[in-house]
Structure 1
Amino acid sequence: MNIYRILIYVVWAIVLAAFVGGCSTIYAIKNDWNGWFGGLPSLKSLERPEEDLTSILYYADGEEQIGSYFRHNRTAVGYNELSQELITTLLVTEDMRFTKHAGIDLRGLLRAASGILTFQFKGGGSTLTMQLAENLYGTSTDNQGSLYSNRKVGQIITKLKEWIIAIQLESSYTKEEILAMYLNTIEYGDNSFGIKVASKTFFNKLPSEITYKEAAILVSLINAPTRYNPVRNPENALAKRTEVLYNLFKYGKIDRVSYDSLKVSDFGLQYKVSDQDEGPAYFKFVIRQDLMRWCKENGYDLFADGLRIYTTIDKRMQEYAQQAVRDHMDTLQYIFNNHLQGDAPWIDKNGKEILDFVDMTIQRTPNYRRLRDKYGEDSDSLEYYLNEPKKMTVFSYQGEIDTTMSLVDSLKYYNQFLQAGFMAMEPQTGHIKAWVGGIDHKYFKYDHVKQSKRQPGSTFKPFVYAAAIDLGYTPCYPVVDAPVTWVLEDQENPSWTPQNAEGTYSGETMTIRQAMARSVNSITANIMQKISPQAAVDMAHACGIESELAAVPSLCLGAGGDVSLYELVGAYSTFVNQGTWTEPYYITRIEDKNGIVLEDFVPKRREAISEKTAYLMLHMLKGAVEETGGTGRGLSWEVKSNNDIGAKTGTTQNASDGWFMGVTHNLVAGAWVGGESRYVHFKNWAMGQGARTARPIWEKFMLDVYDDPLIGVQKGYFRKPAQPLGVELDCDRYNGVDTETDSLGVNNVDIGEEFNNMEF
């Protein structure tokens, strides 16, 4: 046997050994012998790889996005949604032979194989398909067996896994699908996962609109999103972009002139990171709990399944609501600060500072609990770190302020701000059209529409009168403004006589419509005594108040339980909706990532009160605008003209809470204003009343809505019942009194703004 034949046998033996060894190794990796290799994804998962997809929340138009829910901010796109310039830039940079290989590039394979044989593996050979394998399955970080304890052996196993997965992906998907999946799974930095979000973040464009200039930046970010970030590291980004552009020139995709021009051009950024605190942020965070509950019940992941959630929120109305809250609260905060004259805003009923307010409040904060657990309740370190000055950025109406404050100082600073909540809904459909839960979600996370519950003050009075009307009383029923005393089963306080806001009783006989319009406490108490507190509780629950209410005499002034603005707006809508309570709701349907409807939602409805009682209550509420001394008389002529408006103000004791509820034939909205704590309020009750603190928000919102023809909300009149009322509504004629009225039936008396809304 000559030497030549011996060499042939040796070569074939080596090839056979390599083949058998390779097959054995692949089999061992797939079956994870003895836990050495960590295993591979199942065949099913390889055929249908899952990506974490962002779930999108849409406005009522179904086009504009409110926001999103995600673990990784990613929205998938198809190949036909990618610009050719983006695709070309990617291929010349990452895998020029992508269209010619089957997942493993021979040249890269030989380079990588050389490293394996010499145990000097230095990477290389990673095609786009292999990189996709890493992006989808975390081959370098997940499912690591015991052999990974040796770093070099671990690198070799990882590369072998990627080869196996890449071949399977290539057999399951087209090149176009693989390329789109690759771009969809990349992290580009600044909370941008996937090419669609990255294009939006850096250039405010769709992937289909990306040019070579922009593509060079996006492709640069693929391997080092921080190092080559054009905002954070512009010098590195410029150098990398030049390298990518040169690849385009080298492979003949652009000419020398284009290359020379592009490499010296600016980045062309329109940079904006997705801000979770923009738009109806309070709405988005509050309803997240409902969405998570729905997902749990139906087997979906809100943060990964790419759901499409359609809401009732009207984008234009939402913007007007946000602007109304911000504009008014900016002005009101200025008034509030000036009237304090440097004094602390946390005061008792006598206007004196509550000296232990800061100590009590800071003990409820997460920072305090963290420091207490670390250093102990009475340690000097706890006190030191609570008062240690730190650099921080704080909220102001003039813009964010960079300053130095301690934790105690920042708590004092933030508790000086008045908060607000506002909600508007269509009474007939239950559609919530606008939701503003506070003055700035970035700095004040607590929602004052649904999360927060406060005493409703006089906004509860309509339920007392509704119960009376349901029992046969009429809006013209006369009552004397005189003390009403309740006998209580309390040894310390055996009786209770509610006071009017001004502290006196006029002795005047007035109708209950006039009394509700002026918010006269004694007359509401008189009616409550006649019908019983339980009747008022039952009426409130029937109309949609779900919070627990105590059937006690003080409930006639709204002091028998806390309610949310969400509940109040829904309950007042019952009067407009002819006695039918319609649940305020905000989600119309949920679709999966492919647009298949998973569920359509409809609000709950129930007959709460008769159509007659509902209409009589609208007539009662209109009294706030029409009656002399009515708390809605100060509304502008622009909003009142040719328009039925029912209204009710509310102010709790010490003016801790200011409320305004306004109803029209096609929109019901409410506003609340107060401190984050009930102890934070105006010193002067009149300055903190609902007509001054909350009513301007409603009025500005309504004026903006009426002025915008694109919204389609028009003025109009309340719908009358189909059957005759059989009740006299003209109380002046009923009482034999002749008064001059204007075209709206409003008494021609200008009582002045300062007399509006005198109630608790």
Structure 2
Amino acid sequence: MKWSLLAAAVTVFFVIGFCLSIYFGVFGKLPTSNELSHLKQAEATQVLDKEGKLIGKYYIYDRQPLAYTDFPEHLTSALIATEDVRFYEHHGVDNKSLLRVFFKTILFQDQSSGGGSTITLQLAKNLYGRQHHLLFGTVINKFKEAIVAKRLEAIYSKKEILTLYLNTVPFPDNTYGIESASRKFFNKPTSTLSLSEAATLVGTLKANHYYNPGRNIEHSRKRRDVVLHQMLKYDYIDVPTFEETKAQAVILEYQSFNHDLGTAPYFRAQVKKELVSILKDYKKPNGESYDLYKDGLIIHTTLDYKMQEYAEASMKAHLSSLQKMYETSYGKQAPWENDKALINTAIKALPKYKKYKAMGLNANQIEDSLAVAHEVELFEWEGNVKKQVSTIDSLKHYLKLLNTGMLAIEPQTGAIRTYIGGIDYRYFKYDHVSQSERQVGSTFKPFVYTAAIENGMPPCTYFSPKAITYSNYKNWTPENSGTKVEDPHLNYNLEKALSESLNTIAVKVLDEVGIAKVIAQAKKLGITKTLPRRTFVGFRGC
């Protein structure tokens, strides 16, 4: 009896000491009530089009917080019915559920009895995660979460706890918070979620991967029906509503906000570059710099979402058709297969080639290494495919692909309405709008005529369209494009010459005004590229 009492006393002393050590932070500091009352979660920065429509985000954790009033009633009902039916009765820890778990789940091995975690306990875990401990890890983490949950309940109302939970809980596809999940899977704000959609998202909380509607719609549908059954069981919905909703299919409108996917990825990448520079001039009220990925900024742009969709659809239709014509025109003489000089130059530019060369491998060894086949996902207009190909084969595949850039600007304001930097941002990070250099051709003519007028040439000055040879420029003889033959005796004034884009007159005006004055005018109008003074490229027409 004495030894039994001693053992019991030691056990009690150990348990009390163990609990106190957790409480006082021996196994990791617990957040204070003051810290819990000033919670600040990382928020995604939102990029909006000219009408305020969301077109993209910058984030580490994809989260967009909402207020409680933004949640439809059937969403909070679905959450409570499924995750914590006594949510309004406990103060963070549901003792009845814990007893049920102990007796049914642990003693009688009844796995269907459910868990003992409450919404507040889950919130504590979502906010601070779990630490790894060599011994009693689960017990330590559970006890810490219980302490945090009690403190949260003392600080926040039930509505505020639901708001914090729904704004922090992880959903599938690296998505945090109900608003981000709603926009990703259904392309709509949380406030407009239907009962079926709300139940689908709540259903994913049990197992994000297994019940991910984007990966397995059938698993997701079955879990949605479980949520609906819980709502029926606890009188949140009636039988007709249950039957009607259960009969509905789960229809997704998946909208990826991945940095490489979605609408206008090249535009968003360019906006991000400019934001890094812009934000240097702004500070938070506390003096800290803004974090583009965590501070939930709202970025308004001039892009027109609908126009951008039309532009991207047109680009895909045109380039996919043009690619077929391009490949057919070469037939068996395709340079990406037969031009060894072209292929070798491209191979030597590969990072892998440079890496192998730095390791001391000779040309034959490097080529052998690059010829080893492995699984690669290749871009195809009909749909990306995974193939067993070598690095050299992959290089040849991408050498043949046509690319493009397109920019649509509203002339009255200069606002960018559409922006296409390439055919697919995932595979081609090179931006054909902001990075590529093209022959300017006739688009430079307005600079020439502006320089002429600014330097005193009357707009009614007339020039002959007749071609002449410039001996001081290697006997260059610019001509006009097209089949139309101009009357050499008919002179054109500046307005007429510019409107018809006549090369011969543009060069004559350039020669008369002087290259130096045209370059100066171009710089005044915002051209930053260095322009040559001794030579210039001939206009080739439009």
Alignment TM-score > 0.5, same fold: yes
Provide the C-alpha distance between the structure 1 equivalents of 2:392 and 2:533, rounded to a whole number of angstroms. Answer: 40
The 3 A distance-change label for structure 1 pair 500 and 402 is farther
Q: Are residues 1:193 and 2:184 paired? A: no
Cα distance, 1:311 vs. partner?
1.1
The equivalent of 2:254 in structure 1 is 272
Which segment drifts farther, 175-184 or 415-424? 415-424
- Match runs of 1:497-646 below 5 Å: 497-500=475-478, 508=488, 510-511=491-492, 513=494, 516=498, 523-555=505-537, 557=538
The 3 A distance-change label for structure 1 pair 89 and 327 is closer
What residue identity is the alignment partner of 1:226? Answer: H
The equivalent of 1:85 in structure 2 is 74
The 3 A distance-change label for structure 1 pair 368 and 96 is farther
What residue identity is the alignment partner of 1:313? Answer: L
Cα distance, 1:543 vs. partner?
1.1
TM-score, reference length from structure 2: 0.80
The equivalent of 2:343 in structure 1 is 358
Provide the C-alpha distance between the structure 1 equivalents of 2:329 and 2:480, rounded to a whole number of angstroms. Answer: 21
The 3 A distance-change label for structure 1 pair 458 and 155 is same
The equivalent of 1:395 in structure 2 is 380
The 3 A distance-change label for structure 1 pair 512 and 187 is same
Q: Which secondary structure state, in structure 2, belongs to the residue aligned with residue 419 of structure 1? A: coil
Q: 2:138 aligns with which of 146, 152, 155?
A: 155
Cα distance, 1:22 vs. partner?
7.0
Q: Which secondary structure state, in structure 1, belongs to the residue aligned with residue 56 of structure 2? A: strand
Provide the C-alpha distance between the structure 2 equivalents of 1:75 and 1:126, rounded to a whole number of angstroms. Answer: 25
The equivalent of 1:702 in structure 2 is none
Provide the C-alpha distance between the structure 1 equivalents of 2:232 and 2:308, rounded to a whole number of angstroms. Answer: 49
Provide the C-alpha distance between the structure 1 equivalents of 2:34 and 2:332, rounded to a whole number of angstroms. Answer: 68
Cα distance, 1:424 vs. partner?
2.9
Provide the C-alpha distance between the structure 1 equivalents of 2:352 and 2:436, rounded to a whole number of angstroms. Answer: 22
- Match runs of 1:170-249 below 5 Å: 170-234=153-217, 236-237=219-220, 240-249=223-232
What residue identity is the alignment partner of 2:61? Answer: H
User: C-alpha deviations, 1:108-166, integer Å up to 9, x for none?
Assistant: 5567999xxx9xxx99643211211111111x14xx6xxx232x2x3222222212221
TM-score, reference length from structure 1: 0.59
8 Å CA contact 1:394, 1:402 repeated in 2: no
- Match runs of 1:36-435 below 5 Å: 37-41=27-31, 43-62=33-52, 64-108=53-97, 125-138=116-129, 140-141=130-131, 148-150=133-135, 152=136, 154-234=137-217, 236-237=219-220, 240-254=223-237, 265=247, 267-274=249-256, 276=258, 277-298=261-282, 299-330=289-320, 332-344=322-334, 355-366=340-351, 368=353, 376=361, 378=363, 380=365, 383-386=368-371, 388=373, 390=375, 392-396=377-381, 398=382, 400=384, 405-435=389-419
8 Å CA contact 1:318, 1:435 repeated in 2: yes
Cα distance, 1:17 vs. partner?
5.8
Provide the C-alpha distance between the structure 1 equivalents of 2:374 and 2:531, rounded to a whole number of angstroms. Answer: 45
What residue identity is the alignment partner of 1:224? Answer: A
Provide the C-alpha distance between the structure 2 equivalents of 1:126 and 1:253, rounded to a whole number of angstroms. Answer: 21
Provide the C-alpha distance between the structure 2 equivalents of 1:110 and 1:18, rounded to a whole number of angstroms. Answer: 22
8 Å CA contact 1:283, 1:436 repeated in 2: yes
Provide the C-alpha distance between the structure 1 equivalents of 2:194 and 2:355, rounded to a whole number of angstroms. Answer: 50
The structure where helix makes up a greater share of residues is: 2
Provide the C-alpha distance between the structure 2 equivalents of 1:268 and 1:93, rounded to a whole number of angstroms. Answer: 19
8 Å CA contact 1:375, 1:381 repeated in 2: no
8 Å CA contact 1:70, 1:302 repeated in 2: yes
8 Å CA contact 1:484, 1:525 repeated in 2: no
The 3 A distance-change label for structure 1 pair 269 and 324 is closer
Provide the C-alpha distance between the structure 1 equivalents of 2:354 and 2:249, rounded to a whole number of angstroms. Answer: 46
Q: Which secondary structure state, in structure 2, belongs to the residue aligned with residue 66 of structure 1? A: strand
8 Å CA contact 1:512, 1:523 repeated in 2: no
The equivalent of 2:470 in structure 1 is 484
8 Å CA contact 1:425, 1:433 repeated in 2: yes
The 3 A distance-change label for structure 1 pair 536 and 343 is farther
What residue identity is the alignment partner of 2:118? Answer: T
Cα distance, 1:541 vs. partner?
0.7
The 3 A distance-change label for structure 1 pair 23 and 188 is closer
Q: Which secondary structure state, in structure 1, belongs to the residue aligned with residue 518 of structure 2? A: helix
Q: Which secondary structure state, in structure 2, belongs to the residue aligned with residue 554 of structure 1? A: coil
Which segment drifts farther, 158-167 or 439-448? 439-448
Provide the C-alpha distance between the structure 2 equivalents of 1:243 and 1:374, rounded to a whole number of angstroms. Answer: 58
Q: Which secondary structure state, in structure 2, belongs to the residue aligned with residue 67 of structure 1? A: strand
Show structure 1 runs of 5+ residues with no match.
348-352, 487-494, 558-649, 652-756
The equivalent of 1:614 in structure 2 is none
What residue identity is the alignment partner of 2:58? Answer: Y
Q: Are residues 1:25 and 2:21 paired? A: yes
Which segment drifts farther, 437-446 or 504-513? 504-513
Report the identity percentage.
34
The equivalent of 2:285 in structure 1 is none
The 3 A distance-change label for structure 1 pair 553 and 438 is same
User: C-alpha deviations, 1:440-466, integer Å up to 9, x for none?
Assistant: 434433222222223323322332332
8 Å CA contact 2:479, 2:504 repeated in 1: no
Provide the C-alpha distance between the structure 2 equivalents of 1:355 and 1:516, rounded to a whole number of angstroms. Answer: 44
Show structure 2 runs of 5+ residues with no match.
283-288
Cα distance, 1:85 vs. partner?
2.2
Provide the C-alpha distance between the structure 1 equivalents of 2:377 and 2:360, rounded to a whole number of angstroms. Answer: 23
Cα distance, 1:402 vs. partner?
6.1
The 3 A distance-change label for structure 1 pair 499 and 512 is farther
RMSD, aligned α-carbons: 4.1
Instruction: Name the count of aligned residue pairs.
Output: 517
